[in-house]
Amino acid sequence: MKRTGAPLLALLLLVGCQQGVAPLEETGGTHPEARALIEQGEYDAALAQLSGASDAEALYLMGRAWVGKAGGARRAENGRLGPEEMQALDLFQQAVAARADYGAAHLAIAELLAPYALAAESGGGERPNPAASGGGPAITVERVLAAYGAAVQADPADTEAPTRLIEFALKAGPPRDAAAGFQELTRRDRENPDLLVRFGDFLAGPGEDPVEAERVYGQALIWRPDDVETHLKIADLHIDAALEHLKVNHYAAAETEMRQARKHIVDKASAQARRLRDAERSLADASGRQ
């Protein structure tokens, strides 16, 4: 099935323009006792505590309690939500209907539906209508991405929702959805070299954008300039590009890429150093220079 990540990317890019939105998860909130009971695994007690409440937080917490009552069980093998999960989904949806910017509830929907969407995408299950009442869309990758996107949009400073979005998108594809998540997460956590390297690894691999990968690796090196491993990753990108130029007899371009690779090979005993020497020999042989 062909999908597009453009709507999700557009949603993420709007995050920076949002003002005054609710935090992803409210500490304490207006129902601290029920929240504590849920954290302790006392789900029936929490539901009793929340009985009769209809505010967004109460609906969200009741949904969490019903997820807890499901015992973490997943029925993704047949693509169908269990009755407890159906109840939880309905409550989470009521919570976001009551407060559209309730990031925790959006994230809860995404996390609840994600395994089913992945199972359906892989052919491991049907695509049923899981809504607890009144009909609704089937469980799809697009629906889960939309829920993650809404959670991301709800709090411009939060890093949990974009992290979860990336984890899901890397499993579900296509790569551009994960790229959108990485872009938003690195915008929020600009000075994290580990995150930047991970983004660069994605771009160098499934993202298939080596030019952007080098740029992101370069950002990581701003914060950690002596990172030998990241320098060697950049060297690999240039060696790969040089070998591609050699395949079509573009010798000058290949030599330029090798020159750039040489700048980043700080470990002369590395695999990249050996690769570069082999590439240089191939260039000399192919161009007739000895």
The CA–CA distances, whole Å, from 59 to 38, 65, 84, 128, 190 equal: 13, 10, 14, 24, 35
Q: What are the pLDDT digits (tens) for 50-74?
A: 999 999 999 999 999 999 998 855 5
pTM here? 0.81
**Which one-letter amino acid corresponds to residue 13?**
L
Question: For residues 10 and 259, what is the distance between their CA atoms, to the nearest angstrom?
Answer: 38
CATH 1.10.357.10, domain 1-189, yes or no: no
Task: Provide the CATH number for the domain formed by 194-290 in this structure.
Answer: 1.25.40
Q: What is the structure's pLDDT at 257?
A: 98
123: left (phi over 0), alpha (psi -120 to 50) or beta: left
Residue 175, preceding peptide bond in cis (omega within 30° of 0): no
The CA–CA distances, whole Å, from 101 to 22, 34, 105, 138, 149 equal: 6, 22, 9, 23, 11
Q: According to CATH, where is 1.25.40.10 located in the chain?
A: 1-189
Mean pLDDT, range 168-185, rounded to an integer: 90
Q: For residue 27, what are the contacts with CB-CB under 8 A and spacing of at least 6?
A: none
Q: What is the structure's pLDDT at 29?
A: 79
Share of the chain above pLDDT 70, in %: 82
Q: What is the structure's pLDDT at 38?
A: 96
Task: Report the chain's terminal Cα–Cα distance, integer Å.
Answer: 52
Question: For residues 72 and 247, what is the distance between their CA atoms, to the nearest angstrom?
Answer: 53
Q: What is the structure's pLDDT at 134?
A: 41
pLDDT at residue 1 is higher than 60: no
Q: What are the pLDDT digits (tens) for 253-263?
A: 999 999 999 99
Which pLDDT band, with edges at 50, 70 and 90, does 148 fall under? very high
Mean pLDDT, range 28-33, rounded to an integer: 84
Which pLDDT band, with edges at 50, 70 and 90, does 137 fall under? low
